[in-house]
Each structure stands twice: as structure tokens, then as C-alpha cells.
Amino acid sequence: MTAATWERNQPLRRAFGAMDLVYGAEWLVMMMVHIAKGGGVKIVDRCTLPLTGKGVHQLITDVATIDIEPEGLVLRELARGVGVAEVRSATEPELHVHHEPRTMHLPAGVE
């Protein structure tokens, strides 16, 4: 899994620190919003923007926790009220589900 932290169609106003953070990391977790503004897919088969880094091991989004395994993306957790079908429709690569996903636990006060 690869990652890009660029803003589409926006001039680069400042240097982002993501490149420094991912360089040499042994375990990389990416936290992001799952669905783009306007309903577009953000988790795609192939990145079209310059890559920030390679080797993402886990995605944590506002609706799901997804592990990146040798076989592909594996759904582990779902946000309360979100179904597997909803996450699959918002994820371009095939999403494997080996067992009933757990419910994501958020810190107290976070909804």
C-alpha cells in the first residue's frame, strides 16, 4: 500500500512533514477520512499523485479499520452504524472480510 499526502488541484503552499515521518518507519498507520468531499473514493487501486511513502500496514478511517495484508485489504472494524456493504462501495480495491468486523471503540467524548 502506498500513500500520497497532496492536495489535489492545489498549489503546494508549504512542505508537509509526512515524508520525514514515513522514511524508515517499521510500522505505518494511515489515518484519514474514508470518503472524499462530494462522495468520491479515496482508497484506490492505483495512486495518481506523487507518493509520499510506501509500506502502509493499516488504514484507520472515520468508518473502518482496514489491515493491509499480502492478500490485500482486510476489514477488521466498523464504526457504529456502518455496514460492510457501505465500506465496500466506498473502497475501490477488493475488501476481504474473514469474520464479522468488531465495532470501533472511540475515546470518551468522541462521536
Query: Residue 42 — pLDDT band, cuts 50, 70, 90?
Result: very high
Q: Where do the structural domains in the chain lie, given as residue ranges?
A: 2-103
Angle in degrees, CA 90, 67, 111, rounded to 5? 60
Asked whether residue 109 carries a pLDDT value surpassing 90, the answer given is no
Say which residue, 37 or 19, is predicted with more confidence.
Answer: 37
- Output the pTM of the full model: 0.79
pLDDT in tens, 57-106: 999 999 999 999 999 999 999 999 999 999 999 999 999 999 999 999 87
Average pLDDT of the chain, as a whole number: 83
CATH 3.10.180.10 applies to domain 2-103: no
